[in-house]
Amino acid sequence: MSTPTGFMEYKRELHSDRDPLERIKDWNEFHRMLSEEQLRTQGARCMDCGTPFCHTGIEIGGSVSGCPVNNLIPEWNNLIYRGLWREAYDRLSKTNNFPEFTGRVCPAPCEGSCTVGLIGEPVTIKSIEQAIIDRAFEEGWVVPQPPKVRTGKKVAVVGSGPAGLAAAAQLNKAGHSVTVFERADRLGGLLTYGIPSMKLEKDIVQRRVDILAAEGVQFIVNTEIGKHISSNDLLEQYDSVVLCGGATKPRPIGNVEGHELKGIYQAMDYLNSTIKSYLDNGLQLPDGTYISGHKKHVIVIGGGDTGTDCVATAVRHGCESVTQFGTHAKAPLERDSSNNPWPEYPNVYTLDYAHEEARALYGEDPRAFSVLTKKFVGDEQGNVKELHTVQIRRYVDEQGRKIYEEIPGTEKVWPADLVLVAVGFEGPERTIIDQLGLDTDRRTNVKARYGKYTTNVDKVFAAGDMRRGQSLIVWAINEGREAAREVDKFLMGSTLLP
């Protein structure tokens, strides 16, 4: 334990972000880090409790509780308190291949299950994690470590997102020759195309890719398996194949009248067009090279992280207004201990970075809660011009189904020049699944048992969102690591991978 009474002596302290009205003028990361002294004080708040729920990584109440990669959080909190940064990095890197990603974009379920949170504010685990890995890069501790011996086995990894990169890193560490195939022109999957630069700058992703390449991982971009190379040919050329292609099939809103109007886009198309233009043009955004929200009334349908990123992007485009719809009710200001007890992830009202920015610019939280979109209306040229909604209440029926009931008299018309659909994903695309004859589950994900990752096709494994459906980056890293362990065991008969 850092100090037995630290959680009582010191208050929780978070890093200070750049002023919202300043940061919306650029696409740079908006966080400022705590000082070393502040971080040591925050590490002192860790109780090193007998049952540290912060690194359990289990699902409770429909959401994750604790860290899915089982980070040794109390250990490196104590090491930071003692000023032992190198040792803290060594402990962190034992469980997490990419803490520079999770330290920036993970929603921190570890903090939601922190024992200190039972009586007060949890430890600032996420800030400490990012500080450790950033310090490690600054000090030159993160260096390529290629395996001393190669096994002669070849493994293909399809997809270079967090699951694919984690699987590749671990399999390469075991001595296998790993080739990662990516259909986009840049590596990183949703880390690159999907998460805006203000949350995760792309040189941070490339920095890790460069390390993996220096360790011997081969990367091939602009190559779609099932199109440029058939899935069966890939299977013949490699000793094993790990599918980490993600859940990239967007959920449509085809049942809403007027959905075919111009000006209605899938959220990922909107985000990716901005990110690609920004990267292709030297961190600039020339007009006409992306889907723009400039001087438009922007409506985002969907209350999750992707929708939130659309809000932040629209604000930086210079939109006239932006509103984010969610079918869920506004969360309470404090955790409801009866319906949302510790150590479940706390469902409480918070302002994410994009909501802070929109509020600073327009004077109010951009979110509209318990809203159902009824129809889109267009102009004479077929462009969307307005959106009709109604307020709803949600309840669970006797069969456990979620029922949405419209509230009479709550109809509303919203001006809308640009509508972004961020209502989630249906599962993975079908090309590889159909070519290989892979079994799927009831949600159309590749069927492979958690912890084993084997599919019904010999030599083929699946991990990440392609197996579990749309989820967190930290879950993708967890599954990529575990799938690598199972592949190594399949190829060699045993494994030393965790």
Segment 284-317, tens digit of pLDDT: 999 999 999 999 999 999 999 999 999 999 999 9
* 188 lies in the same domain as 304: no
Element (H, E) at 205: helix 202-214
CA distance 383 to 376: 10
Would the pTM of this model clear 0.85, i.e. be above it? yes
Give a yes or no: residue 132 inside a domain: yes
Kindly compute the dihedral angle of the four CA atoms of residues 94, 99, 105, 109, in this order, to the nearest 10 degrees.
30
10 Å CB burial of residue 468 (0-12, 13-18, 19+) is buried
Tokens of 200: 């995760």
Question: Angle of helix 36-44 relative to helix 125-139, nearest 10 degrees?
Answer: 140
Total domain count, the chain: 3
Instruction: Name every residue whose Cβ is closer than 8 Å to that of residue 131 and which is 6 or more positions away in sequence.
Output: 33, 34, 39, 80, 103
- Residue that the structure tokens 């379920």 belong to: 109
Q: Which domain, by its residues, includes 79?
A: 6-139
Give a yes or no: residue 146 inside a domain: no
According to the model, what pLDDT value does residue 314 have? 98
pLDDT tens digits for range 455-472: 999 999 999 999 999 999
According to the model, what pLDDT value does residue 62 have? 81
Domain boundary (139, 169, 200) is at 139
According to the model, what pLDDT value does residue 338 have? 87
CA distance 375 to 243: 38
pLDDT band of residue 48 (cuts 50, 70, 90) is confident
* 418 lies in the same domain as 435: no
* 45 lies in the same domain as 81: yes
CA distance 102 to 100: 6
- Residue that the structure tokens 């330290």 belong to: 103
Of 469, 476, 474, give the one whose Cα is nearest residue 107: 474
Give a yes or no: residue 47 inside a domain: yes
On average, the pLDDT of the chain sits at 96
Report which of residues 402 and 432 the model is more confident about. Answer: 432
Q: Detail the DSSP E strand segments found in 61-197.
A: 63-65, 154-158, 177-181
According to the model, what pLDDT value does residue 15 have? 86
Give a yes or no: residue 331 inside a domain: yes
Q: Is the peptide bond before 286 cis (omega within 30 degrees of 0)?
A: no
According to the model, what pLDDT value does residue 275 have? 98
Give a yes or no: residue 29 inside a domain: yes
Give a yes or no: residue 1 inside a domain: no
Report the sign of the C-alpha dihedral through residues 240, 245, 246, 249, in that order.
negative
- Bridge partners (DSSP) listed for residue 419: 264, 299
Cβ pair 96, 71 in contact under 8 A: yes
Tokens of 482: 């575990």
CA distance 192 to 198: 12
Q: How many Cβ atoms sit within 10 Å of the Cβ of residue 434?
A: 11
* 230 lies in the same domain as 258: no
Give a yes or no: residue 270 inside a domain: yes
According to the model, what pLDDT value does residue 460 have? 98
CATH value at residue 26: 1.10.1060.10
| Percent of the chain's residues with pLDDT above 90 | 90
Tokens of 420: 């972004």
Is 90 exceeded by the pLDDT of residue 4? no
Domain boundary (139, 163, 188) is at 139
CA distance 237 to 283: 39
Note the Cα 92 to chain centre separation in Å.
Answer: 19
Cβ pair 446, 243 in contact under 8 A: yes
* 237 lies in the same domain as 256: no
Cβ pair 468, 479 in contact under 8 A: yes
Tokens of 380: 């004479």
- Read off the DSSP letter of residue 123: P
According to the model, what pLDDT value does residue 61 have? 80
* 315 lies in the same domain as 431: no
* 121 lies in the same domain as 159: no
* 205 lies in the same domain as 163: yes
* 266 lies in the same domain as 345: yes
pLDDT tens digits for range 177-202: 999 999 999 999 999 999 999 999 99
Tokens of 467: 């197996």
According to the model, what pLDDT value does residue 394 have? 87
* 297 lies in the same domain as 379: yes
CATH value at residue 294: 3.50.50.60
* 256 lies in the same domain as 398: yes
pLDDT band of residue 2 (cuts 50, 70, 90) is low
Give a yes or no: residue 147 inside a domain: no
Domain boundary (423, 443, 471) is at 423
According to the model, what pLDDT value does residue 9 have? 92
Tokens of 243: 């599918």
According to the model, what pLDDT value does residue 13 have? 94
* 168 lies in the same domain as 236: yes
